[in-house]
Structure 1
Amino acid sequence: MKLKDEIASLFERLEGSFDVHETPTGHQKRFLEKLNQQQPKTVKPTINYWKWGSIAAAIALLVVLGGSLFAPQSSTEADLASVSPELEQTQSFFTATITTEIEKLKQFESPEHQQLIQDALIEVEKLETEYQLLKKDLVESGYNKQVVNAMILNFQSRITILENVSETLTAIKTLKNNTNETYL
């Protein structure tokens, strides 16, 4: 009931302000002509290009990925493991040793040793970058023994750097412990 009273009072307030004039003659005809001029006469079937483009792209991606999975691998780089089983064991040994030495260095991490450790890791990273180039050279040279020797030397250099820093840090720690001891 209350809603009907509100609506009735609204119409009473707005009475006389409604536009009740007749539209001019020919208004509807002119409106329809303008409307027809804006719309094309023939209705073209709508093609959802995004939908078909997405489907085509997905198919192309599947073809490329499927082709690369089943195509023979022509690698532009190889590591020691691809030369022989013995060198694969050698590579595994070197990699494990490098990982172990890096873990040893992490045990020494402190503000006073940070610069020494960081410098060593930068040198090891440089050698790793050189190793990546050697991997490419190995394929290009046809698995040349000199390149294999250079790769082994690279691993040995990384291990030597890490071992030297580890020994230096151990010596510093021992020296500090000895100088801080109290004698009775």
Structure 2
Amino acid sequence: MAQDIKSLLKNNQSSEQIQMPEGHDKRFLERLEASFPQATVSKRASWRWQAIAASMVVALGLGYVVFQELKTPETQTVVHTKTAESPTKTLGDVSPDLKKVEDYYLASISYELSKVKVTPENKELFDGYVGRLEELNNEYQKLSDELTKNGPNEFTVNALINNLKMRLNLLYRLKEQLQAFSDHNQKTI
């Protein structure tokens, strides 16, 4: 019962040639085109407008981001978290996962610090927190030196991560204190 399909096709092919009815190709193409009509010009035009609008939104968004980055505030305080010239090891040198943790905290610290608005009324409070941030940054640098000198160990890695957490928490507290200070000043006015 079971036959090899190759041999079956060879035998069938040699016995007779099947011819298609005349005009079959033409009728088939006509039906195919009727089933799948070509896109109309209006649909193409609407897609073009949508593509242009999307490009404009992206361009405006990028322009806004660049403008915000170039705009300099009246009072700008920079807390250095890592120097490029430093030959010391960081968490990123220990493992890729720790690099992600370190990058997350450093980016969050920079972001939160950039959102702080310093006014003459809250400058003293801000300066106190910046002093503490600088102390934590110096401690982080010492821990990085220790990591370079002694190699990675659990104590040093945990201390580096805790230092980053403390800096971020300190910035959160600063924002809360500045908000409370602002709310208090608005109530007294």
Question: TM-score with structure 1 length normalisation?
Answer: 0.53
Question: What does residue 159 of structure 2 align with?
Answer: 150
1:90 aligns to 2:101 (yes or no): yes
1:77 equivalenced with 2:59 (yes/no)? no
Please state if 1:113 is matched with 2:128.
no
CA distance in 1, matches of 2:87, 2:188: 55
Across the aligned residues of Structure 1 and Structure 2, the Cα RMSD in angstroms comes to: 1.6
How many residue pairs align between the two structures? Answer: 104
| Percent of aligned pairs with the same amino acid | 32
> Equivalents in 2 of 1:161, 1:142: separation in Å?
28
Distance 1:176 1:139 in 2: 48
Distance 1:178 1:97 in 2: 31
**Aligned partner of 2:94: which letter?**
V
Unaligned ranges ≥5, structure 1: 1-74
| 1:78 to partner: Cα distance | 0.3
Equivalent position of 1:104 in the other structure: 115
Match of 1:129 in 2: 138
Unaligned 5+ segments in structure 2 are: 1-85
Structure 2 Cα separation of the partners of residues 76 and 93 of structure 1:
21
Matched residues in 1 for 2:134 and 2:176: separation? 20
2:89 is paired with a residue whose SS is coil
Amino acid at match of 1:127: L
> SS where residue 112 of structure 1 aligns?
coil
Q: Superposition pairs for residues 1-184 of structure 1, below 5 Å? A: 77-105=88-116, 107=117, 109-180=118-189
Give the whole-Å Cα distance in 1 for the aligned partners of 2:107 and 2:101.
10
Cα distance in structure 2, aligned partners of 1:76 and 1:179? 52
Q: Which amino acid aligns with 1:167?
A: E
1:28 is matched with which residue? Answer: none
Secondary structure in 1 matching 2:119: coil
Cα distance in 1 between the residues matched to 2:122 and 2:135? 20
Q: Deviations over 1:118-174 (max 9, x none)?
A: 111111011111111111111222201110000001111111111101101112212
Q: Residues of 2 paired with 1:177 and 1:137: CA distance?
A: 47
Q: Deviations over 1:60-109 (max 9, x none)?
A: xxxxxxxxxxxxxxx8620010011111010110101110121122x2x1
